[in-house]
């Protein structure tokens, strides 16, 4: 529009006239720059496509070559899609093939925790053993079926752990079965406890026709430093998409020869994957559990991400006081089954009249603080554990809060006791109070100790809840505000309002 355009000011016009000689220079200069850029681009193209074996090719030939290699890749991808006629259907459990590593000597024992999460005829996969089990062995009913690793692994060198080679090759053994409809290979240990529904929801967010390497790192800095921050730790488990598995298997044996000096199988796999140009897609729901002592603090402050796996449970205190390892896993699993996406999900709430703060890790524990603690503190795990390797006080790959010795500095703890489904849409979970070893004698603590049970009601989370931008849910202390009768604190966990905030101030 004309009226928007300002007429040239007299100064500007004058300036133009005075610039005549410089204009000529600038035309020469511009041509030079153009020439420079053109030659730069052709040198760039030439070096990019220079093939030392062919003795050098023209950029046009290089482009042709590039086009035909893209066409080849597309054809390979199309071929993979043809093999699975339902390639575009949503990913479900049947598309995952678990490749677990075990040992014929320990499987009877390890199969117990496996049977908690394995569902025969629904979960697909095998536990790979070095040899057949003794005839009198008796793995837990409803645990994963076993297979013996193909014996080629014995020819590879190793410097510290011999089984590591065999375990790395479980991807080769699993891929070699050529089972139909497999989109993801999920590697794990015989003692890894998976939460398969959550793993399916997570993997459904990724295109299985692309190359993905998805897993989690260690909790202990000493472990991450020693192995790698870029590596998926094998005990927490990791997922490899079909095309990546295909390329990995093609190259793995050569990698195993070269990387014989590594400690673990997961490190060998990682080192090989790095050479394929694929990096780790980290996810916070995989738990290697490289910690010692009590995992309580960590699981009571889980990040906002679906729980995918737990490992090393036998190496720590049982998750629930008064229950052994297996019973503890079963207790947690009861809540998981009732509302898979919600298990261990954090939620915080306040009673602004009594000055109480509540921190929830759904399906596991509730913490009650008889004072106002900000969310950014509540979400930091209490350090109830030590590092994996050296049993040190840290550092960890996340922040921690100290736990005492002042009994007034730690919360009143409630642990999951009962799970009740309401139809298919809701749940009631009941948490009962633990007796603290040392009691805090302050009046606000004594008042809060009158709560003996916490009952949480919530609506079952949609499976795709965590594929959206993650937002914590809100908690209402239903009978708070001094209206609590009896010994039960009732809490409703629900989606927050769009503009709702959770804060120590009302
Ligand atoms: C999983 O998806 C496949 C299609 O790829 C379908 O045939 C099968 O019925 C689905 N299984 C379940 C349990 O939904
Ligand atoms: C699994 O399938 C087999 C064969 O169809 C059947 O015999 C077996 O009872 C099934 N197991 C369970 C636990 O459903
Ligand atoms: C497991 O396999 C190894 C290697 O063949 C063997 O030495 C061991 O005796 C086997 N253990 C059992 C319980 O079969
Ligand atoms: C809660 O905290 C506020 C501000 O510190 C204080 O004024 C109030 O008396 C406290 N209420 C109770 C019940 O402790």
Q: What is the pLDDT of residues 125-164, one digit of tens each?
A: 999 999 999 999 999 999 999 999 988 877 777 777 777 8
Give nearest CA residue, ligand 3 atom 11. 105
The sheet carrying 213-215 orders its strands as 146-148, 124-129, 96-101, 184-189, 238-241, 213-215, 281-282
Phi-psi region of 388 (alpha: psi -120 to 50; beta: other; left: phi over 0): alpha
Give mean pLDDT, residues 425-449: 95
Is 98 a residue whose pLDDT tops 90?
yes
- C-beta of residue 369 within 8 angstroms of C-beta of residue 359: yes
Residues 347 and 270 in one domain: no
CA of 122 to the centre of ligand 3 (A): 30
pLDDT for the residue 55:
46
Asked, for residue 173, whether it belongs to a domain, the answer is yes
- C-beta of residue 97 within 8 angstroms of C-beta of residue 186: yes
CA of 355 to the centre of ligand 4 (A): 6
Pocket test for ligand 3, best of 103, 105, 138 (most atoms within 8 A of CB): 105
Backbone angles phi, psi at 108, to 5 degrees: -55, -45
SS3 220: strand
CA of 378 to the centre of ligand 3 (A): 49
Give nearest CA residue, ligand 3 atom 3. 131
Give nearest CA residue, ligand 3 atom 4. 131
- Give the residues surrounding ligand 1 with Cβ less than 6 Å away: 86, 89, 92, 94, 181
Asked, for residue 75, whether it belongs to a domain, the answer is no
Could you tell me what percentage of the chain is helix, strand and coil, using 3-state DSSP and rounding each to the nearest 5? 35, 20, 45
CA of 84 to the centre of ligand 1 (A): 12
Say which DSSP state 295 is in. Answer: -
Cα-Cα-Cα-Cα dihedral sign, residues 319, 320, 322, 323: negative
Closest ligand by atom to 119 CA: 2
Say which DSSP state 396 is in. Answer: B
At 384-418, the pLDDT tens digits run 999 999 999 999 999 999 997 899 999 999 999 99
Task: Please state the three-class secondary structure of 196-217 as a single string.
Answer: HHHHHHHHCCCCCCCCCEEECC
Give nearest CA residue, ligand 4 atom 5. 355
Residues 266 and 370 in one domain: no
**pLDDT confidence tier of residue 82, bands split at 50, 70 and 90:** low
- C-beta of residue 116 within 8 angstroms of C-beta of residue 72: no
- Helix ranges restricted to H, 374-449: 375-378, 443-448
Is 38 a residue whose pLDDT tops 80?
no
- Give the residues surrounding ligand 2 with Cβ less than 6 Å away: 120-121
> Counting atoms of ligand 2 from 1, which one is nearest the CA of 119?
13
Cα separation of 227 and 225, whole Å? 6
Closest ligand by atom to 148 CA: 3
Pocket test for ligand 1, best of 88, 92, 197 (most atoms within 8 A of CB): 92
Is 479 a residue whose pLDDT tops 60?
yes
**Closest C-alpha among 387, 325, 389, 1 to residue 193:** 325
Residues 260 and 352 in one domain: no
> Counting atoms of ligand 4 from 1, which one is nearest the CA of 354?
13
Backbone angles phi, psi at 473, to 5 degrees: -90, 165
Report the share of the chain in percent with pLDDT over 90: 72
Total tally of structural domains belonging to the chain? 2
**Closest C-alpha among 175, 168, 171 to residue 266:** 168
Residues 352 and 435 in one domain: yes
Most confidently modeled of 6-15, 33-42, 247-256, 276-285? 276-285
**pLDDT confidence tier of residue 24, bands split at 50, 70 and 90:** very low
- Give the residues surrounding ligand 4 with Cβ less than 6 Å away: 354-355
At 456-470, the pLDDT tens digits run 999 999 989 999 999
Report the share of the chain in percent with pLDDT over 70: 83
Structure tokens at 402: 């100290």
**Closest C-alpha among 307, 334, 86 to residue 197:** 307
**Closest C-alpha among 297, 333, 345 to residue 456:** 345
Asked, for residue 290, whether it belongs to a domain, the answer is no
**pLDDT confidence tier of residue 234, bands split at 50, 70 and 90:** very high
Residues 124 and 197 in one domain: yes
CA of 135 to the centre of ligand 3 (A): 11
Residues 155 and 241 in one domain: yes
Q: Is 134 in the pocket of ligand 3 (CB under 6 A)?
A: yes
Pocket test for ligand 2, best of 121, 122, 141, 143 (most atoms within 8 A of CB): 121
DSSP string, 444-503: HHHHHTT--EEEEEEEPPPTTGGGSS--PEEEEETT-TT---TTEEEEEEEPPPTT----
pLDDT for the residue 5:
35
pLDDT for the residue 20:
42
**pLDDT confidence tier of residue 78, bands split at 50, 70 and 90:** low
pLDDT for the residue 154:
77
pLDDT for the residue 84:
67
Give nearest CA residue, ligand 1 atom 14. 92
> Counting atoms of ligand 3 from 1, which one is nearest the CA of 130?
2
Closest ligand by atom to 196 CA: 1
How distant is the alpha carbon of residue 325 from its chain centre? Answer: 23
Residues 352 and 263 in one domain: no
Residues 382 and 257 in one domain: no
Is 83 a residue whose pLDDT tops 80?
no
**pLDDT confidence tier of residue 36, bands split at 50, 70 and 90:** low
Per the structure, the complete domain to which residue 384 belongs is given by: 339-494
- C-beta of residue 287 within 8 angstroms of C-beta of residue 309: yes
Cα separation of 411 and 434, whole Å? 11
Residues 271 and 351 in one domain: no
Residues 219 and 346 in one domain: no
Asked, for residue 33, whether it belongs to a domain, the answer is no
Q: Which of 234, 249, 282 is the last residue of a domain?
A: 282
Q: Is 457 in the pocket of ligand 3 (CB under 6 A)?
A: no
At 50-70, the pLDDT tens digits run 444 444 566 677 677 767 666
* Tally of CA atoms within 13 A in the half-sphere of 497 that contains its CB: 5
Is 475 a residue whose pLDDT tops 60?
yes
pLDDT for the residue 21:
42
Closest ligand by atom to 372 CA: 4
Residues 106 and 211 in one domain: yes
Q: Which of 235, 260, 282 is the last residue of a domain?
A: 282
Residues 368 and 224 in one domain: no
CA of 96 to the centre of ligand 2 (A): 19
Q: Which of 247, 266, 282 is the last residue of a domain?
A: 282
Pocket test for ligand 1, best of 80, 89, 123, 179 (most atoms within 8 A of CB): 89
Give nearest CA residue, ligand 2 atom 7. 121
Is 253 a residue whose pLDDT tops 80?
yes
Give nearest CA residue, ligand 3 atom 13. 105
Burial status of residue 70 (CB atoms within 10 A of its CB: 0-12, 13-18, 19 or more): exposed
How distant is the alpha carbon of residue 296 from its chain centre? Answer: 19
Closest ligand by atom to 121 CA: 2
Q: Domain of 187: which CATH number?
A: 3.90.550.50
Asked, for residue 84, whether it belongs to a domain, the answer is no
SS3 146: strand
Give mean pLDDT, residues 426-437: 96
Pocket test for ligand 3, best of 101, 103, 104, 151 (most atoms within 8 A of CB): 104
Cα separation of 335 and 361, whole Å? 11
Q: Is 108 in the pocket of ligand 3 (CB under 6 A)?
A: no
At 224-233, the pLDDT tens digits run 999 999 999 9
pLDDT for the residue 70:
60
């Amino acid at each position: 529009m004309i009226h928007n355009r300002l007429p040239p000011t007299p100064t500007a016009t004058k300036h133009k006239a005075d610039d005549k000689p410089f204009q000529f220079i600038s035309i020469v200069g511009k041509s030079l720059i153009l020439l420079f850029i053109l030659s730069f681009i052709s040198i760039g193209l030439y070096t990019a496509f220079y093939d030392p074996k062919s003795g050098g090719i023209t950029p046009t030939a290089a482009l042709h070559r590039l086009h035909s290699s893209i066409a080849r890749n597309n054809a390979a991808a199309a071929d993979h899609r043809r093999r699975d006629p339902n390639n575009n259907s949503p990913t479900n459990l049947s598309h995952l093939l678990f490749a677990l590593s075990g040992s014929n000597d320990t499987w009877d024992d390890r199969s117990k925790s496996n049977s908690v999460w394995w569902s025969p005829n629904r979960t697909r996969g095998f536990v790979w053993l070095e040899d057949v089990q003794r005839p009198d062995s008796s793995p837990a009913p409803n645990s994963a079926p076993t297979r013996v690793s193909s014996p080629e692994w014995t020819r590879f060198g190793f410097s510290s752990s011999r089984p590591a080679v065999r375990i790395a090759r479980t991807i080769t053994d699993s891929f070699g079965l050529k089972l139909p409809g497999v989109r993801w290979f999920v590697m794990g240990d015989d003692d890894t406890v998976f939460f398969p529904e959550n793993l399916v929801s997570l993997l459904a967010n990724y295109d299985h026709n692309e190359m993905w390497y998805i897993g989690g790192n260690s909790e202990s800095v000493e472990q991450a430093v020693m192995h790698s921050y870029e590596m998926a730790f094998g005990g927490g488990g990791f997922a490899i998409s079909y095309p990546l598995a295909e390329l990995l298997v093609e190259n793995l044996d050569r990698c195993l020869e070269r990387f014989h000096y590594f400690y673990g199988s997961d490190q060998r796999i990682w080192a090989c994957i790095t050479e394929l140009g694929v990096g780790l897609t980290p996810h916070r729901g995989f738990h290697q559990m490289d910690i010692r002592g009590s995992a309580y603090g960590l699981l009571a402050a889980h990040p906002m991400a679906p729980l995918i796996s737990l490992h090393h449970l036998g190496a720590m205190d049982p998750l629930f006081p008064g229950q052994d390892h297996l019973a503890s896993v079963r207790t947690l699993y009861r809540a998981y089954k009732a509302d898979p996406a919600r298990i261990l999900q954090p939620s915080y709430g306040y009673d602004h009249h009594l000055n109480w703060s509540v921190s929830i890790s759904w399906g596991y524990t509730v913490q009650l603080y008889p004072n106002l603690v900000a969310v950014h503190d509540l979400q930091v795990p209490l350090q109830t554990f030590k590092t994996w390797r050296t049993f040190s006080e840290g550092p960890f790959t996340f922040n921690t809060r100290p736990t005492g010795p002042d009994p007034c500095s730690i919360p009143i703890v409630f642990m999951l006791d009962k799970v009740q489904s309401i139809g298919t849409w809701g749940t009631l979970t009941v948490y009962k109070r633990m007796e603290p070893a040392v009691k805090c004698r302050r009046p606000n603590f004594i008042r809060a100790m009158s709560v003996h049970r916490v009952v949480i009601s919530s609506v079952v989370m949609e499976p795709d809840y965590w594929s959206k931008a993650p937002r914590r849910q809100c908690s209402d202390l239903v009978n708070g505000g001094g209206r609590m009768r009896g010994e039960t604190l009732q809490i409703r966990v629900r989606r927050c309002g769009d503009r709702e905030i959770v804060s120590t101030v009302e």
